[in-house]
Structure 1
Amino acid sequence: MADTPTHKHHDEIAKRLRRAGGHLAKVVAMIEGEAPCIEVARQLQAVYKAVGNAKQALVRDHIDHCLDEHALMERSAADIKKELAEISKYL
């Protein structure tokens, strides 16, 4: 993808995912340390939500990027609709 312009928020999304990865590593340590299941479940829910929020940000950023790219490159409406339908599955 070197020929495609960088999406506006990829650095922010990567930062969120690194944070979620660190959080997940701590949850694994909790399980290995036999922490109470309710606390582990609570922390897993937080990781799940953080990853979900990052996914939504990525999809929204892609949609914005796709629409900007459409204006610049004059792609066909059918191509844009197809791409939006494809990425929307992940919302």
Structure 2
Amino acid sequence: MADTHLHQTHPAIVKRLKRADGHLRSVIEMIESGRPCLDIAQQLHAVEKAVAQAKRTLIQDHLDHCLDDVVGPLAREQRRSIDEYKEITKYL
């Protein structure tokens, strides 16, 4: 059995993805019913943003918890590269 990796942010990520799933289903219905392309594009944009934010939150959470577990306690000078890496990933 695989290790379970649950973090404090996971419930919020699941909630966001379920909402995005509902919006995506709406987009499919909009396309099938012939809704205007502008309306569809706006909804698709919202779905993309929700998924991207969920991904970003998951990755940041992973870096904040899992990476620290692997690296363990390091002196401040040795941590600087890791801390900079975690900080720069926020701009991805």
TM-score by length of 1: 0.71
Structure 1 unaligned residues grouped into runs of 5+: none
Structure 2 unaligned residues grouped into runs of 5+: none
Q: Which moved more, 1:63-72 or 1:3-12?
A: 63-72
Residues 30-89 of structure 1 deviation map (CA, whole Å, 9 limit, x = unaligned): 0011000111011101100110000000001111112442438xxxx8xxx6xx79xx5x
Distance 1:5 1:36, change over 3 A: closer
Query: In structure 1, what is the equivalent of residue 62 of structure 2?
Result: 62
What number of residue pairs does the alignment pair up?
A: 78
Partner SS, residue 43 of structure 2:
helix
Following the alignment from structure 2 to structure 1, what is the Cα–Cα distance between the partners of residues 68 and 5? Answer: 11
Q: Please give the residue correspondences for 1:39-50 in structure 2 after superposition, counting only pairs within 5 Å.
A: 39-50=39-50
TM-score by length of 2: 0.70
Following the alignment from structure 1 to structure 2, what is the Cα–Cα distance between the partners of residues 3 and 34? Answer: 46
